[in-house]
Amino acid sequence: MSATASPSRITYREACRQAIREAILADPRVFLMGEDVGRYGGCYAVTKGLLEELGEERIRDTPLSESAFVGAGIGAAIAGMRPIVEVMTCNFSLLALDQILNNAATIPHMSGGQFAVPLVLRMATGAGRQLAAQHSHSLEGWFAHIPGLRILAPATVTDARFMLAPALADPNPVLIFEHIMLYNMEGELEPGVAAVDIARARIRRPGRDVSLITYGGSLFKTLAAAETLAAEGIEAEVLDLRVLRPLDTAAIMDSVARTRRVVIVDEGWRSGSLSAEVAMRIVEEAFFELDAPIRRVCSREVPMPYAAHLEQAALPQPEAIAAAARGLVRPG
């Protein structure tokens, strides 16, 4: 790729920022609120400069009251606005879990369809910056358990840039998980793309020997593993789920039908996880397509530690992903 800056080459952070700015300029009902989104510019600097440009009415710094401002977002969505609410990290979202589960995900159904909650909730997820156990967990799999929510995990700059508009157009609550290790990543916006289909997974690398199914921050580790495997003559297909609920089951089964071998890579804990759900769906729908048992590479089941070597040891790594795939394709 060219080293010279081109308009289509941007960071993930900038892609998120452009998406928010564009959404607010395009629709008077859209506004952003959250902790430190204004004066500070966002904990991860995503919203830097937006307060100055768009004003305090549309970019709202909130007190440290996750339950109140997430609930206020739900109420505002019910009463005709299209709020984007930022929760600084998904660990903090637990303080608002009552509002997310008992109100946002519940009121449309429980009211018999009288009220919709067209809310977008953005939050940072994942480990890698030595922030330890209260800032580093991947809880998107928990939220993907909840009926009524749509869960997105943009991994590429194109998805970060173009998932927000369809999320805001969705009449239902949409949670967007942005992996903290992606914000500094640079990438090329896909030419000609102006919107992302938030119902579909996406193949990031075609292959015939094994399916590596992943999403979010693990995508690039998985692609790196696929490169290693390619050098060994193993062609891995990398499927980016990117929509964690509702899962694009058809895309998963298509890939399984092609490769007959599956490794699922998920930064969440293994037990009762999203990876378990994906694996079970494959077992239910494509058991006889499989030539080998399904393997998983997940985070180790510990609270994420601070020390760098321990943190890295707890996370899925390209070597482990490649080893799992190798073991399926060339057993023994």
Partner 1 sequence: MTGAPKVHLDRAHGLRLLREMLRIRRFEEKCAELYQAQKIRGFLHLCDGEEAISVGVMQALGPDDWVVATYREHGQALARGVPMRALMAEMYGRLEGCCRGRGGSMHIFDRATRFLGGNAIVGGGLPLALGVALADRMQGRRTVTACFFGEGAADEGEFHESLNLAQLWRLPVLFVCENNRYSMGTPLAVAEAEPEIWRKAAAYRMSGEAVDGMDVVAVEVAARRAAERIRETGAPHLMECLTYRFRAHSMFDAQLYRTKEEVTAWRARDPIPRLSAWLVQVGHLHEADLARIEAEIGAEIEDAVAYAEAGTPEPVEELERFVTMEAVPS
Q: Among all residues, which ones are annotated catalytic?
A: 66, 135
Nearest Cα to Cα of residue 147 among 218, 41, 287, 246:
246
Task: Please identify, using beta-carbon distances, which residue of 118 and 217 lies nearer to partner 1.
Answer: 118
In angstroms, the CA 117 to CA 146 distance is: 15
Check residue 304 and report its DSSP letter: P
What SS3 state is found at 120?
Answer: strand
Answer yes or no: are the C-beta atoms of 32 and 59 closer than 8 Å: yes
312 interacts with partner 1 by CB under 8 A: no
In angstroms, the CA 151 to CA 99 distance is: 16
Residue type, 184: N
Answer yes or no: are the C-beta atoms of 259 and 288 closer than 8 Å: no
Answer yes or no: are the C-beta atoms of 262 and 297 closer than 8 Å: no
Task: Please identify, using beta-carbon distances, which residue of 95 and 203 lies nearer to partner 1.
Answer: 95
62 interacts with partner 1 by CB under 8 A: yes
Six-digit token pair at 94?
């637990």
Six-digit token pair at 48?
């830097």
81 interacts with partner 1 by CB under 8 A: yes
Interface region with partner 1, contact rule CB under 8 A, candidates 36-44, 94-102, 227-235, 259-267: 94-102
- Considering only 6, 8, 65, 134, the residue that binds partner 1 (CB under 8 A) is 65
- Considering only 1, 2, 112, 271, the residue that binds partner 1 (CB under 8 A) is 112
172 interacts with partner 1 by CB under 8 A: yes
Task: Please identify, using beta-carbon distances, which residue of 96 and 238 lies nearer to partner 1.
Answer: 96
75 interacts with partner 1 by CB under 8 A: yes
- Considering only 23, 70, 226, 328, the residue that binds partner 1 (CB under 8 A) is 70
Residues 261-280 contacting partner 1, CB under 8 A:
none
Nearest Cα to Cα of residue 262 among 272, 252, 271:
252
Which residue's entry shows tokens 């990117």?
Answer: 242
Interface region with partner 1, contact rule CB under 8 A, candidates 113-121, 160-168, 177-185, 308-316: 113-121
Six-digit token pair at 53?
């440009």
- Considering only 116, 230, 247, 323, the residue that binds partner 1 (CB under 8 A) is 116
In angstroms, the CA 47 to CA 187 distance is: 19
97 interacts with partner 1 by CB under 8 A: no
- Considering only 34, 42, 118, 217, the residue that binds partner 1 (CB under 8 A) is 118
Q: Rule CB under 8 A: which residues touch partner 1? A: 31, 57, 60, 62-63, 65, 67-81, 83, 98-99, 102-103, 107-116, 118, 147-148, 150, 171-172
